[in-house]
Chains A and B, each alone.
Chain A
Amino acid sequence: ETGVTQTPRHLVMGMTNKKSLKCEQHLGHNAMYWYKQSAKKPLELMFVYSLEERVENNSVPSRFSPECPNSSHLFLHLHTLQPEDSALYLCASSQVGPEAYNEQFFGPGTRLTVL
């Protein structure tokens, strides 16, 4: 138990569906992240929110839409996905700032399958 929870753990959706992934951190951190993990590839950083402001989106397709209503919650809204979007989506949080070194704490991930 890392203090970061994600729901759902597994999701199967069609290409025309709309769904949302949820992440919650109970660590009092000020930054949250969405990563995509595909087999045998490095973790791909999708979005970063620091102090509730999005600071980077790394050219992620617009069919992925993040939302960060407060420092403890992070959502990833999905619509009209493609089969190649099937992957493990990981949420992480960290404390950033002068005295922190950005150790990231990960949630268990959502295994997404797009049919």
Chain B
Amino acid sequence: GQNIDQPTEMTATEGAIVQINCTYQTSGFNGLFWYQQHAGEAPTFLSYNVLDGLEEKGRFSSFLSRSKGYSYLLLKELQMKDSASYLCAVVDSNYQLIWGAGTKLIIKP
């Protein structure tokens, strides 16, 4: 079957760095998304990786290793507004998105 694994919850301190990991086993691979979802709101796009390596976008970076079935989202200079759930999703061979359960990130002052 298809499976996306990410930690359920993480806690970090304001101003620090946090890495959220995602491992996947899917039928085919056509890219990986990271979305951010604040409580009670819609998920919003953060990043897309289809080739191995690191994609940097401001304070957020996303890394992909296709051979290891692994990705991470790196958040730097954490702010209180970064408290949210972070969803990992993989595009499978049918171009459908397979979603992880999300990682709830709690930022403490």
Contacts and interface: CB of A to CB of B under 8 A. Distances in A.
A45 interface: yes
A90 B42 contact: yes
Contact of B48 (A103, A108, A109): A103
B101 A102 contact: no
Interface of B: 4, 8, 30-31, 33, 40-45, 48, 50, 87, 89, 91, 95-97, 99-102
B56 to A, nearest CB: 18
A101 B91 contact: yes
Interface residues of A, number: 21
Contacts of A45: 96-97, 99
A103 B95 CA distance: 11
A102 B50 CA distance: 12
A90 B99 CA distance: 14
A43 B33 CA distance: 14
A43 B87 contact: yes
Interface of A: 2, 4, 40-43, 45, 48, 56, 90, 96, 101-109, 111
B17 to A, nearest CB: 25
Given A101-B48, A101-B91, A102-B91, A42 B99 contact: yes
- Give the 8 A-B CB pairs with smallest separation, nearest first: A106-B42, A43-B99, A42-B99, A42-B101, A106-B43, A108-B42, A101-B31, A103-B45
B91 to A, nearest CB: 6
